Amino acid sequence: MNNNEDIIKTEYSEVMQKSYIDYAMSVIVSRALPDVRDGLKPVQRRTLYDMHELGIKYDKPYRKSARIVGDTMGKYHPHGDSSIYDALVVMSQDFKKGLPLVDGHGNFGNIEGDGAAAMRYTEARLQKIAQFGLLDDLDKDVVDFIPNFDETEKEPSVLPAKFPNLLVNGTEGIAVGMATSIPPHNLGEVISAMKAYMKDETISTSRLMKYVQGPDFPTGGIVTNKDELPEIYRTGQGKIKVRGKVITEKGKNGKTNVVITEIPFPMVGANITKFLQDVAALAETKKAPDIVDISNQSSKEGIRIVIELRKDANVDNFINLLYKKTRLEDTFGVNMLAIADGRPETMGLKRILKECIDFRFAVVTRKYTTLLEKEREKKEIQEGLIKACNVIDLIIEILRGSKDRNQAKACLIDGVTKGIKFKSKESEVMAGQLHFTEPQANAILEMRLYKLIGLEIDALIKEHDETMANIFKYEDILGRRDSMAQVIINELDELKKEYAVPRKTVIDNCEEAVVEEVKVPEMDIMFIMDRFGYAKTIDMATYERNIDAVTAENKYICQCKNTGKICLFTNTGLLHTIKAGDLPFGKFRDKGKPIDNISNFSSANEEIIAVASQSDLNLYRMIFVTRMSMMKVVDGGEFDVAKRTVAATKLLDDDQVVSVVPIKEQRNIVLKTNDGYFLRFPIEEIPEKKKTAVGVRGMKLGAKDYVDEVFYTQNAQEANYDYNGKTIALNSIKLGKRDSKGTKLRT
């Protein structure tokens, strides 16, 4: 071991805890959450700044997205190209952002969930609002610049946003242990609220909401819980209920068309397809029997989903059914979490506006401090040039008599005349009285002769007057908060005038959708499922006409009510329930649907052992037998559950269910093992247990032996079993006791 090395012993749990906390904070602060000041996550900020640095401005040609992504990744964001391109795409999508910051050219995805084309095919440039609303004034030292990941470049720690981008565009992000979800808002309303806050810092959230009515989703829609919004915006947390916009039109032959023209914001993307599937399912399951046809006629002009109804349909009830049973009415969970002062905080509307306004004052202070410094430097030089013009003959004499620049400069600054040849003693005396500053002296030495023209001197004097006016103006802005506030308000008014658009989302209080359920007449039906797992239901008349074919072609057959449930018991000890109404009902020769698609059953991991109707289970007790010969009797009423999947029994490790049978007229049970042992004993010896119990042992098994088949017999009724080519009368097997070894039959 190297003697210079020190081994530090520490607790493993402490190292893991510290490492995980460091990782979590890195994700929270540097990846997933936006900064309250500019409303941007680091990847978004870096992408916009890189486009700014590359000069890809709104009035310049588009550049390949791959160039932007590569440059951003190489300079500022070394976390993979997909995250950068995804951020670029989202910032360009007008159906996700209230105010897109990137102008995309090419296929940047659509509202229906289709993704953007590869970055090598698409092009982009900055939107005007991003250039002037977020990136303006970066050259005036308005924000701090920090080193990039390898300290070869500098990047802004935050962009000098002129408007509350966090509210206008909203955001979503999942960090470690926390998530943010902020809806987009209307730019004009947010600016009005910002101005109102600047005029009265004691303003309440409810008064601010006279300006910010609520979220303004780019997809429109209707917010239905207006009265709950003040509390949501006060705390920064809550649930906003939003509906799509629906209109009715006259269809062909007196039919009615229900047309969806706006969708709720959470439906953006693949959920439109899910909505269409849900509507189709309503028609298939007869919950919406009035549906004749569904078509998605959406285009670049907007959303248009048309549902054609029958002539005598109850349109209002159908629309309420859509709100109730599909995602046409959805919930947007609000959690206004953002980074403030380096820490993640949940903030209400007023706090976010305060942070943005404070930041804006800080930015404007730094901007005008920089401008004032530059104007003072200009003033100093201008005054030196004006003074020089008044004694230009003397200055020319100094320049002609000096040996080098330094000698002339020393004379201009300190009046040093030694070594300079003058035409007269009077000139030398006057030169000794000169006291220009160093910047003035440099400007005089670099001054060109054409500046001595009369008009040029007049322009210099005029420029000096403008500089003095600017100095007065900037000192006033920096010295008086009211003046600075007016500057900020003027900038906000310009943004509002150019970029504000009318509100798209309606804010209202709507009554909860009430649906008059169409009552389906109750009747007996047959559930049938073939060996491939395709299931359906048929009416009793169809079953009776085809009883032989049904029995021959299907593995499971069960009578039930069309309003009831089907219960599937599996070898893994689970019970899956299916509503009979969810199964396709029709002709015997119809294919049916895979049972995997209708229930939680997975044919890859499970095997169905028994099928029963819920109504039958309520009438009988059930016998459970497993491979390890554990058994019990359970009251069927225990399986009347609301959940789609529950544990039907408790299993030992590596055990499986072999048989689940209702007790009807059976008297004896026969267990058969893989090694050929048979045990017959009365069912009364099996104790009744709860479904959560393992049960008792039914048979003693040899090493590696297991129960593979279970039979049930009735007294005085013949029951035969074909075992290795020989027919065995099960009733003839010697009656034994539970938990004995049984008899090995030889063939």
> What are the catalytic residues?
121
Side chain identity, residue 689: K
CA distances from 107 to 10, 60, 124, 271, 317 (A): 54, 20, 11, 20, 39
* Rounded Cα distance, 585 and 172, in Å: 43
Kindly give the interhelix angle for 392-401 and 405-414, rounded to the nearest 10 degrees. Answer: 140
Note whether 644 and 576 are within 8 A (CB): yes
What H or E segment, with its residue span, contains residue 525?
Answer: strand 524-529
* 170: its two tokens: 């909203």
CA distances from 291 to 285, 305, 310, 363 (A): 11, 13, 7, 59
- Residue 152: Cβ within 10 Å count: 9
CA 86 to chain centre: 12
> Residue 102, SS3?
strand
Residue that the structure tokens 């997205």 belong to: 65
* Rounded Cα distance, 573 and 609, in Å: 10
- Residue 94: Cβ within 10 Å count: 13
* Rounded Cα distance, 191 and 200, in Å: 14
CA distances from 557 to 91, 197, 440, 525, 625 (A): 55, 71, 103, 11, 21
578 - beta bridge partners?
566
Sign for the CA dihedral angle at 127, 131, 135, 138 comes to positive
Angle at 675 between CA 670 and CA 677, to 5 degrees: 30
344 - beta bridge partners?
339
* Rounded Cα distance, 668 and 713, in Å: 5
What H or E segment, with its residue span, contains residue 339?
Answer: strand 337-340
CA distances from 471 to 136, 428, 436, 648, 720 (A): 21, 36, 21, 84, 111
What own/partner pairs with CB < 8 Å and gap ≥ 24 does 190-196 have? Answer: 190/163, 190/164, 191/163, 191/492, 191/493, 191/495, 191/496, 191/500, 192/496, 193/349, 193/353, 194/163, 194/164, 194/353, 194/356, 194/357, 194/492, 195/489, 195/492
* Rounded Cα distance, 521 and 393, in Å: 114
Query: Residue 508's closest CA among 262, 238, 265, 224?
Result: 224
Note whether 309 and 258 are within 8 A (CB): yes
Q: What is the largest CA-CA distance in the chain?
A: 151
Q: Where are the beta strands (DSSP E) in 663-704?
A: 668-673, 677-682, 696-697
* 474: its two tokens: 């900037």
